[in-house]
Structure 1
Amino acid sequence: MCLRRPGRCLYRCCVAALFAGLTLLATADQPQLLSDASIEGYRELYGEQAARRLTAWQNLIREGNQLSEPEKLERVNRFFNQVRFLDDIAHWGKEDYWATPVEFLISNGGDCEDFSIAKYYTLRVMGVAEERLSLSYVKALELNQAHMVLTYYPNPTAMPLVLDNLINSIRPANERPDLLHVYTFNGESLWLSKKGQRAELVGTSDRLKPWVQLQSRMENNRVNIQQSQERQ
């Protein structure tokens, strides 16, 4: 999804994906900080550059806990926008795959969902409240394709800020006329979206099959890390 070439990633596919139901198997509210031993294991499996990206991510999280929320947004957006854009077919061999932040960084690539998911979970573990964050399905009008961005709400009725891998500047949704907002969701809820704002609550986010699968993998990873640390 979210290819940068018009004619692919059709808008209707984005909408249809929202209602592919699946029972919620597990939740992973935040990514767990990686131990030095875990990063060393990733180094052995995926190489020095992968380990360096993971270490830089962990340092970002630790340093970011001391920052204001606007500074956290800027740092996180800038950090992840350095990662390569790669579409799912080329990168994962699948039509639509939502990567965990670790998968995204290890492979140094992903599409718009992967950028948005990594920013979402990183800001959560840096202390930004869930109700201030949403993953937003939009249509990128100039590219004529579906797209995903992260939106940040300073308060429930505020115009959200948009964190986007297409541009580095963080702007209010009403200053992004190139994006048509459709749906938005976070760890709990799913809303219709209008002009960037949450317009109507339509259910819970476990109606999104890729989101449920992502959370299940993250929970499995969390358990594996915990078990590994207990054995040490």
Structure 2
Amino acid sequence: MIINADELDARASYKLLIGAVTPRAIGWVSTRSTSGVANLAPISFFTVVSRKPPMVSLTIQPRSDGRTLKDTLVNIRDTGEFATNLVTLPHAHEMHRSAVEFDSDLDEFEEVGLVKEACEVVRAPRLKDAPIALECTLDRIMPVGDVHDHVVWGRVVRFHIRDDLYTGNGRIDTGAIPTVGRLAAEYTLADNAFVTPLAADVLRARAGRRMIRIDERPDGWSPVDSADWSPSGATKA
């Protein structure tokens, strides 16, 4: 199957992108409005930009109406600050619920039952129980495309790393973290690791195998086919 991207609308293109680029890291982004309301939302167009200074990138779509800017973007634009919190399995459902398009005057931490922790430099809060959080200041915002998407670059000014995860040689013990990533409209748990080359019998044993579902849904099911899915990254449930 070869698909001409020029013939796709934003919805169709988004469905192919999120299925083709997997797994994606999730930046669970916490911000604070100019009036002091905390916001928390998952962004799965999230990655690293630079080492020195350390910088991360967020790509933020508008709300499901295709026009209104999400609170996350508005707050970053207006305050110049945000934090990203690592999503792990114990918080997967709260992360999913925080993708609901709440009214701007509602605090997502309170709505989904999570506890805030003050950051050291930025005024935006971070998630108290997140094993890793990054305090960021705004470097730039770049509008992209013709559907009101925006790319945000943030400079990391503080790393918050749980003590037991920070090893003696200055690295993070990733094997101890049940990190949750994004597939298309589903999530995946990072619960294995390897370096290459793998033994031939290991490769043969895994050839053609599908992912193992841990949610008791039928194999092949996807939220993309449900009424709750939105090409804005928001959810209704």
TM-score (structure 2 length as normaliser): 0.26
Give the structure with the higher percent strand.
2
Q: TM-score, normalised by structure 1?
A: 0.26
Q: By percentage of residues, which structure has more helix?
A: 1
Larger C-alpha radius of gyration, 1 or 2?
Answer: 2
